[in-house]
Amino acid sequence: MSVLAPEAVARLLPDEPRWVEVRGMLLTGMGRPVGAVATSPVTFVALHAGDDQAAVVGRPPHELIQNAAASATELLAVPENADWVTAALPSWQLESATIHVASSLDLIRAVPPGVVRELTIPELSGLPIQYAQLRDDLLVEARSGTPVFAAFAGEQPVAFCYAGSVTERWWDLSVDTLEPYRRQGYAAQCVAHVAQYMAAQGRMPVWGASKSNTASARLAAKLGFTPVDAIVVFWPAEESWDAA
């Protein structure tokens, strides 16, 4: 077990888009490092507080990766270490996700404004039952103190956006839209609102889109995001992964 505090371990990694989720969970105390070694390169496994997500940094012993996989349903690694994780978890599936950043917010600011505001927990609880998984995910974020914003169609919240992870300079953009309202501009309105909210804090968005989620990549490009890096997402063979 690591004797280094989570925040100290986070500061061993540079504040770059590829590390936004790992550093974000450590800086907020929502994750703990296991087996952290302050060498170059730094090596450890980060476990989310809920034990459902883990991240492999460097090439820690396979035993540490396998221990994390006993509870995690999603594991992250950078591409150059994907083969090491595959050797530890040969039965797990994997997919690459492209990391995008926006060099400026010009195209985001140009999005026609809509009705976007932060939702209350009772409002999130009232989402239609057919969106129970999304509702529950949003409630977890809101109850942990993360502001969850929504774009509205009339009185109905239809697109949702929040900062899934936050570091000194970056925030990991999470966006989802109810099926009947997709491709109608609501997601762009919601992203634009949250991007400007976070820009006021001096932070720029990071947009991750899995290779299979072409719609997400298209929206990212439309809003001025460009690919800069990638991560690899692993999940158990018996599970399905909700690609982002």
**% of the chain at pLDDT higher than 70:** 96
Give me 225's structure tokens. Answer: 């995001």
How many other CB atoms are there within 10 angstroms of residue 214's CB atom? Answer: 10
Query: Is the confidence at residue 180, as pLDDT, over 90?
Result: yes
Rounded to 10°, the helix 214-222/186-199 angle is 60
Query: Is the confidence at residue 167, as pLDDT, over 50?
Result: yes
pLDDT at position 3, please?
Answer: 67
8 Å CB contact between 34 and 68: yes
Query: Is the confidence at residue 24, as pLDDT, over 90?
Result: yes
Closest CA to 15 of 206, 173, 209: 206
Q: Kindly report, residue by residue over 31-85, the tens digit of the pLDDT.
A: 999 998 777 789 999 999 877 899 999 999 999 999 999 999 999 999 999 999 9
Give the model's confidence band at 2: pLDDT under 50 very low, under 70 low, under 90 confident, else very high: very low
Please list the residues that pair with 204 across neighbouring strands.
170
By residue count, the chain amounts to: 244
d(CA 36, CA 45): 7
pLDDT at position 37, please?
Answer: 78
pTM value > 0.75: yes
pLDDT at position 1, please?
Answer: 42
